[in-house]
Chains A and B, each alone.
Chain A
Amino acid sequence: MILLENVYYKYEPEGIEALRGIYLQVREGEHLALIGPNGCGKTTLVRHLNALLLPASGKVTVGGLNTNDPKHQADIRSLVGMVFQNPDNQIVGMTVEEDVAFGPENLRLPTVEIKKRVAAALGRVGISELAYRNIENLSGGEKRLVAIAGVLAMRPRYIALDEPTAFLDPAASKRVLNIIDQLHSEGVGIIHITHNMAEAALTRRIVVMNEGRIYLDGNPREIFGKFGMLKQIGMQLPQVTELLIKLKESGFPVRTDIVNMEDAVEQISSLTRQIKD
């Protein structure tokens, strides 16, 4: 389990607090979306999960290991993988295979084990055929998959993904989301930062941040049910929820706590049936 207790963080001693008293618990195998306006502290928070940033006060523990303890930091970084927003800033190797091997090489694994892990990680994200390709010849979506494979090769128990579908076309986004879903079904804990509400609605739990604090925490229906509070901090709702709210405002008897397309279609179908009858 990852536990953040009363975490405060400042980038500069005289600057404003990027995190202000965060309490958060992430269980193993949980799929959590982290949403909030720009600059609210989402990236700062996830960088605390694998000891890239250390709290100014408060405590972060991963599987009982305190991130403040330098002795534990290597173990913590093996437990929590981090996929950065821009894969170009994360990819170290010149070829796909070399980059994916970078983490296992740092873990000082033997060559045979590194090769096994690289092949397995590339297979898991479906890019085995790109193993020897030069990084510069890959598309944005492929680079994102390489970044994910690089983290998977370290066999982490949790993966924090910072806007993994940003700048991707719908097909590449869908591919990345399917991989995230598959990892979750294999028991990997997912912490998924996103500005896309439809993506957040696919998770089991949404944590909304605002001005360095946890603003809301609950399942997608609970969170998007509080649309007044979300609008207050400039957040949007999933398009299907927006549509149902507009229908309700126009006098149609529909539920507004629906966050996914399938439930929305069913709701609107039943409404049209009622109108016909």
Chain B
Amino acid sequence: MYHTGAFIKGQSLIYNLDPRIKLAATICLSIFILWVKPLLAFVVGIALFCAVFASGIHLRTIGQALKPLLFFIALIFLVHALFNEGEALIEIPFFGLSLSYSGLQQGFIVVWRFLCLLVAAILLTLTTAPSQMIAAIKYFLRPLKLLHVPVDDIAVMIMLALRLMPILLTEKERVEIAQKARGYNLRQSGLIMRIKAFLSLVSIVLSGVFRRADELALAMEGRNYRRGERTSLVELRLTSSDYFVLTFLGISSVIFIALNCCFG
């Protein structure tokens, strides 16, 4: 079973980078994607796709991860294309809508930015093991320890949330199959019945997940989990390639900021 954005073991420069660098680079890239002028956003996107090739991840894998979001991407494009004021290219007879050139352009830019954000996030999760990601988040949250924020507990909570997500989906599928096996056919039901069925599904799934969470908490206790500081399997150490990427990112950021100001 493949899960959207789940880590896939591999070997490449991007895989071997320190998770802190990858996380910082993704955040930096995301800010640029959203902030810079359309032309520069296009350049950032191309740089991102070069990073995908350098990572050794198949484009098909990225496509698979994007598949569940295609509907939203199409919706975003249509909303921008149809609701943007401008010279109409095609008049749509219903609802007084029209497809304009500026709308299409706007839709394309927004979708491009959105796609770039998604690809950056997918690339990060595909090339970074969850434990590495949690170690990086823990590292960046470390200053909050001075304010008595339970950083180690937050890291465990993130780990459990990641673990419980597939369990939640499996539980939902299990209940749906059990309902179907007893002749429950939602397709032939009306809206009220569907809402009722959805609510009953949610309550069954949630009670199952709470039961599992209880058992998981007990198992964690059995494996000596206590609140507070823990050590980690992941050793965070910067190598020469991390310093190289960091320098490259720094220089490109300065160039992009300068170019963005010039274009403005």
Give the distance in Å from the alpha carbon of A259 to the alpha carbon of B103 in the complex: 80
Contact among A78, A89, A91, A111 with B231 in the assembled complex (CB-CB below 8 Å)? A111
Which of A94, A97, A98, A102 touches B223 (beta carbons < 8 Å)? A102
B223–A154 contact, CB under 8 A?
yes
Q: Count of A residues near B, CB < 8 Å?
A: 43
The answer to whether A105 and B159 touch (CB under 8 A), given A50-B222, A92-B219, A95-B130, is: no
Let me know if B163 is at the binding interface, CB within 8 A.
yes
CB closest chain-A residue, reference B214: A89
Interface contact A111-B219, CB-CB below 8 Å: no
Q: Which of A80-129 contact B (CB under 8 A)?
A: 81-82, 84, 86, 88-95, 97-98, 101-111, 114-115, 118
Does the CB pair A111–B159 fall under 8 Å?
A: no
By the criterion CB–CB under 8 Å, are A103 and B232 in contact? no
Residues of A within 8 A of B225 (CB): 102, 106
| Mask: chain A, 133-152; 1 = CB below 8 Å from B; 0 = not | 11111000000000000110
Which among A89, A103, A105, A137 is the interface contact of B212 at CB below 8 angstroms? A89
Q: Tell me the smallest distance from the CB of A205 to a CB of chain B, in Å.
A: 23
Chain A residues 43-95 with CB under 8 Å of chain B are 47, 50, 52, 74, 77-78, 81-82, 84, 86, 88-95
Question: Count of chain B residues with Cβ under 8 Å from any Cβ of A?
Answer: 33
* Any B CB within 8 A of the CB of A132: yes
Cα A137 to Cα B6 in complex, Å, equals 11
User: Are B223 and A111 neighbours in the complex by a CB distance under 8 Å?
Assistant: no
Residues of the A chain whose Cβ atoms lie less than 8 Å from the Cβ of B222: 50, 52, 77, 81-82, 84
CB proximity of A120 to chain B, nearest CB, Å? 14
Which residues of the partner chain B approach A88 to less than 8 Å between Cβ atoms?
167, 212
In the complex, the answer to whether B6 meets A151 with C-beta atoms within 8 Å is no
* B contact residues around A110 at 8 Å (CB): 231
B206 within 8 Å of A (CB atoms): no
Provide the B193-232 mask, 1 if CB < 8 A to any CB of A, else 0.
0000000000000000000100110111111111001111
Which of A89, A102, A115, A150 makes the CB contact (< 8 A) with B215? A89
Kindly provide the distance from the CB of B253 to the nearest chain A CB, expressed in whole angstroms.
Answer: 31
Partner of B224, one of A93, A98, A107: A107
Q: Which residues of B line the A interface, CB within 8 A?
A: 1, 3, 6-7, 9, 129-131, 159-160, 162-163, 166-167, 212, 215-216, 218-226, 229-235
CB-defined A-B contacts under 8 Å, sample of 11: A78-B224, A88-B167, A92-B219, A94-B159, A94-B162, A95-B7, A105-B230, A108-B229, A111-B233, A114-B232, A151-B223
- Give A contacts to B, CB under 8 Å: 47, 50, 52, 74, 77-78, 81-82, 84, 86, 88-95, 97-98, 101-111, 114-115, 118, 132-137, 150-151, 154
Q: Which 4 A-B pairs have the closest CB atoms?
A: A89-B215, A101-B233, A132-B9, A94-B130
